[in-house]
Structure 1
Amino acid sequence: MAVSANRLELLQIADAVAREKSIDKSIVIAAMADAIQKAARARYGQETNIRADINPHTGEMKLQRLMQVVEQVEDYDKEVALLTARERNPDAQVGDFLAEILPPMEFGRIAAQSAKQVIVQKVREAERDRQFDEYKDRIGEIVNGTVKRVEYGNVIVDLGRGEAIIRRDELIPRENYKYGDRVRAYVYDVRREQRGPQIFMSRTHPQFMAKLFTMEVPEIYEGIIEIKSVARDPGSRAKIAVISRDSSIDPVGACVGMRGSRVQAVVGELQGEKIDIIPWSGEAASFIVNALQPAEVAKVVLDEDAERIEVVVPNDQLSLAIGRRGQNVRLASQLTGWDIDIMTEQEESERRQKEFVERSNLFMDALNVDEMVGQVLASEGFTTVEEVAYVEQDEIASIDGFDEDTASEIQERAKEFLDRIETEQDEKRTALGVSDELRQIDGITTAMMVTLGEDGVKTIEDFAGYAVDDLTGWKERKDGETKFFPGVLASFNITRGDAEAMIVDARRKAGWISEDEVEASDEEAETASA
């Protein structure tokens, strides 16, 4: 069958557009068919059901009017009666469509313009879908591009088959780009938006540095060395923690390279950013000591529940440990995920002495004993009156200078003091209107009930409305600094697990959740931990 020049031209146009926009040719042909349908409706009436088909091999165009077969005709523009339809097709059934071939039509100027708009719109949508599908799978990769333009400090990058943006705050400080510059960055997000897919790139993202090391260090690419965490102060300094799965390979040495060749390649890409390569350790204390390099650490004290660590350094190492404007300790904190408090040996000694004096005074006041007895109890490691009251009597009697009678007398005085405090707290609780039913919640003390009453909580239902953070407190990181916001019961040093158990118990007693739901939740938690 001979193909006319017009048909050949139609296929050539579709082929050219598909190649230029990197989309499937069938999408362009479908867009042309939609455009022809729209133009045909403008001529035959918008209420008419018209379908246009274009043969992708020959370019032949077929225009049809579709009529649905019905028992009773209500819309004569779209429907045909079953009896009438069977005159044309004896096998016609209700619900079928009869196709009536329409004669070829000439496009007027307005119809042609309208058709062009439909094609352009469909092709643009297809191009956006192709771009989104291509780059959504490249999140987490480094891509190269050319600077297309700079708008208000934001760099628009031409990726060849797409366009990306590096926002001003995602550029390394003091970096300046101009039209035509080559740029390499990390794709961290791809979103569908009104104006099309938006590709967001970054040169300050911690993973940008990790990916650069992956490209420079074959052992990381092959999985022999693993990057465990990264912390960056873009353009200034960074820390990266690495571990080797092969004991014969030094992870730090492999990342540094011969004469520093590998790390210098990364430093050059990051505009001279100084990089500390830290050996990762599963022991938090060892890891934190490593992360604070180049400072020397004398002692560490961990508080695992609060994820805080106190680091004691020699007096001459304090400024090195903290770093310029707190940079070293801030990066170490980001790298390890722990809040780090740094103090000198002198500051620690002064603090320990202060705590010793406070505990001695506590025992002197509470137990009505002299200074020597108070100091002895404090030096033996007792921190609260509760410990003194309920520890085994033999433990107190075994202290030098004490006997069983002395131990018994001290414990009696401790219990009397606690009873007096309990009575005072219960009076406060009653005055605040806190219901006695709160005692039913496991772990709640009278002192806690007073604190809860001061926060406006009076009943089990009130308590059930708490979240864990409301009780223990929460952290927020801003500008590289972590700030702690104390919860209602933060002063009682309860763990998040204890707080969660209290809230669940309150909700169960308030009838908000059933016993089965609690058990199911516990099973899920056990499965997840396993």
Structure 2
Amino acid sequence: MAVSANRLELLQIADAVAREKSIDRMIVIEAMQDAIEKAAKARYGAETEVKAEINPRSGELRMWRLLEIVADVEEPSRQVTLDFAKAKSPNAKLGDFLTEPLPPIEFGRIAAQSAKQVIVQKVRDAERDRMYDEYSGRIGEVVNGTVKRVEYGNVIVDLGRGEGIIRRDELIPRELYRYGDRVRAYIYDVRREQRGPQIFLSRTHPQFMAKLFMQEVPEIYDGIITIRSIARDPGSRAKIAVTSSDSSIDPVGACVGMRGSRVQAVVGELQGEKIDIIPWTDSIADLVVSALQPADVAKVVLDEQAERIEVVVPDEQLSLAIGRRGQNVRLASQLIGWDIDILTEQEESERRNKEFTERSGLFMEALDVDEMVAQLLASEGFSTVEELAYVDLVEIASIEGFDEETASEIQNRASEYLAEIERGQDEERVKLGVSEELYDIAGLNAAMLVALGQEDIKTVEDFAGCAADDLVGWTERKDGEVKRFDGTFKDFPVSREEAEDMIMQARLKAGWITEDELADASGEDESEASEEEAV
């Protein structure tokens, strides 16, 4: 059978558009069908239901008018009765549609323009869907493109089958691009927006550096070497921590390469950004020593609950450890994920002497002892009166120059001092209106109840409504900086687990939960802990 030129033309147009826009040929044909249906409605009336079909093999166009079969006709142009339909098709039934063939129509100028708009819109929508589906699955990849234009500092990049944008804050400082320049960047996000999918690229993202190392270092690509953490000050300096699963392969040496060839390739792509490569270790203390290189570290003190590290360096190493504008210590903090405080040996010595003097003065006042006895207690590591009151008597008696009688007298004085403070704090609790029932919760004392009263937590129900964060505080990390928010018990040595236990006791006492529910919750926690240990 001979195929007319018009039919061939339809198929050729569909094929050409599908190839050009990289979309499915059937999407283009369906767009054409929609356009023809819209043009036919303009010809036969908007109330007429028209169905058009293009044969994808022959290009033949067929059109029908659809008439719904109903019991009572309300719209003659769209509906027919069952009797009328049965006369044409004996198998017709209510709810079906009767089809009447329509002759081909001549497209006028307006109808053709309208049809063109429908096709263009449908093709554009399909192209956007294709682009989103393709690039949303490529988040985390490094892509190459050509600079298409620069708008207000943002670089628009032609990626071949899509268009990406590098926002000004995602460019390396002092980096300039012009039309036609080649650029390599990291896809960190793809979003659907009104003007189509937006592909967001970055050259400052830490993972961009990781991907560049993966391309240059075969051991990273093969998974033998793992990049554990990256901290960047884009265009200036970066620190990267690596570890190897094969003890025979040095992870730092592999990343540096022969005469620095591998790391220099990455440095060249990042506009000369200096890169410190350090070996990763699970020991935070060892890791911070490596992260602060080239400075020497004399001492490291960890506060695991607050995720804070105190580092002591020789006096002449202070500026080196901090770095220009705090860069070295800031990058080390980002790399490890803990806050880092840096002190010189002289500052630490002065602080130790100050703390020793303060503790000695506290013991002299609280225990009514002379300076020598107070200094002996402080030098033995006792820092609070509570420690003296509750420690085993043998520990105090074992101090040189002390006997059991002296130790007992010191402990009695410590207990009397604490009891006096407790009475004063209990009076303050009463003034604040804090319920005495809170004493029934194990772990709470008068000082804690005063702190709760100052936060307007006065009853068991009030305390039961608290979260652990409200009591012990929490930390938030944003842009590599860690911010600490204090809780009500900031001045008390209460762990998160202890705070949660106190809250559960309050909820049990307030009747919010039952003993069985509390036991079930404890069982689940123990089960999760066992699973974590097993892993």
Is the pair's TM-score, using the shorter chain for normalization, greater than 0.5?
yes
The one-letter code of the counterpart of 1:213 is F
Shift of 1:517: 6.2
Q: Distance in 2 between matches of 1:47 and 1:373?
A: 103
Shift of 1:14: 0.9
The one-letter code of the counterpart of 1:118 is V
Q: Which residue of 1 aligns with 2:135?
A: 135
Asked if structure 1 preserves the Cα contact closer than 8 Å seen for 2:364 and 2:374, the reply is yes
Change (3 A) 1:102 1:509: farther
Q: Distance in 1 between matches of 2:206 and 2:32?
A: 47
Change (3 A) 1:510 1:477: same
Q: Which residue of 2 aligns with 1:118?
A: 118
Q: Which residue of 2 aligns with 1:523?
A: 524
Asked if structure 1 preserves the Cα contact closer than 8 Å seen for 2:153 and 2:167, the reply is yes
Q: How does 1:264-303 map to 2 (within 5 A)?
A: 264-303=264-303
Q: Which residue of 2 aligns with 1:246?
A: 246
Shift of 1:306: 1.0
Between 1:453-462 and 1:207-216, the stretch displaced more is 453-462
The one-letter code of the counterpart of 1:493 is P
Deviations 1:19-66 (A, max 9, x none): 111111110111111111112222223232222111111111111122
- Is residue 404 of structure 2 the alignment partner of residue 404 of structure 1? yes
Q: Percent identity?
A: 73
- Is residue 8 of structure 2 the alignment partner of residue 8 of structure 1? yes
Change (3 A) 1:178 1:370: same
Change (3 A) 1:521 1:53: farther
Shift of 1:208: 0.5
Q: Which residue of 2 aligns with 1:209?
A: 209
Change (3 A) 1:265 1:25: same
Change (3 A) 1:514 1:76: farther
SS in 2 for 1:59: coil
Change (3 A) 1:32 1:258: same
Change (3 A) 1:100 1:524: farther
Change (3 A) 1:223 1:450: same
Q: Which residue of 2 aligns with 1:154?
A: 154
The one-letter code of the counterpart of 2:136 is K
Shift of 1:167: 0.5
SS in 1 for 2:183: strand
Shift of 1:109: 1.6
SS in 2 for 1:282: coil
Q: Distance in 2 between matches of 1:192 and 1:513?
A: 45
Between 1:224-233 and 1:386-395, the stretch displaced more is 386-395
Q: Distance in 1 between matches of 2:81 and 2:524?
A: 63
Shift of 1:480: 5.0
Q: Which residue of 2 aligns with 1:366?
A: 366
Shift of 1:196: 0.6
Q: Which residue of 2 aligns with 1:66?
A: 66
Q: Distance in 1 between matches of 2:480 and 2:278?
A: 20
Q: Distance in 2 between matches of 1:35 and 1:510?
A: 69
Between 1:208-217 and 1:507-516, the stretch displaced more is 507-516
Q: Which residue of 2 aligns with 1:106?
A: 106
Q: How does 1:270-349 map to 2 (within 5 A)?
A: 270-349=270-349
Instruction: Say how many residue pairs are matched.
Output: 530
Q: Distance in 1 between matches of 2:345 and 2:98?
A: 93
Q: Distance in 1 between matches of 2:28 and 2:394?
A: 91
Between 1:438-447 and 1:507-516, the stretch displaced more is 507-516
- Is residue 465 of structure 2 the alignment partner of residue 460 of structure 1? no
SS in 1 for 2:461: helix
Q: Which residue of 2 aligns with 1:78?
A: 78
Q: Distance in 2 between matches of 1:132 and 1:177?
A: 26
SS in 2 for 1:492: coil
Between 1:453-462 and 1:256-265, the stretch displaced more is 453-462
Shift of 1:84: 2.6
Q: Which residue of 1 aligns with 2:260?
A: 260
Which segments of 5 or more consecutive residues in structure 2 lack a partner in the other structure?
none
Shift of 1:521: 8.2
Change (3 A) 1:479 1:85: closer
Q: Distance in 2 between matches of 1:323 and 1:399?
A: 45
Deviations 1:326-384 (A, max 9, x none): 11111011001111111111111111111111111111111111111111111111122
Shift of 1:478: 5.6
Q: Distance in 2 between matches of 1:521 and 1:97?
A: 64
Q: Which residue of 2 aligns with 1:24?
A: 24
Q: Distance in 1 between matches of 2:105 and 2:508?
A: 74
Q: Distance in 1 between matches of 2:310 and 2:98?
A: 83
Q: How does 1:364-403 map to 2 (within 5 A)?
A: 364-403=364-403
Q: Distance in 2 between matches of 1:514 and 1:196?
A: 54
Between 1:273-282 and 1:343-352, the stretch displaced more is 343-352
Deviations 1:457-509 (A, max 9, x none): 22233334434333333334566543333222212132333333434444454
Between 1:265-274 and 1:482-491, the stretch displaced more is 482-491
SS in 1 for 2:524: helix
TM-score normalised by L of structure 1: 0.95
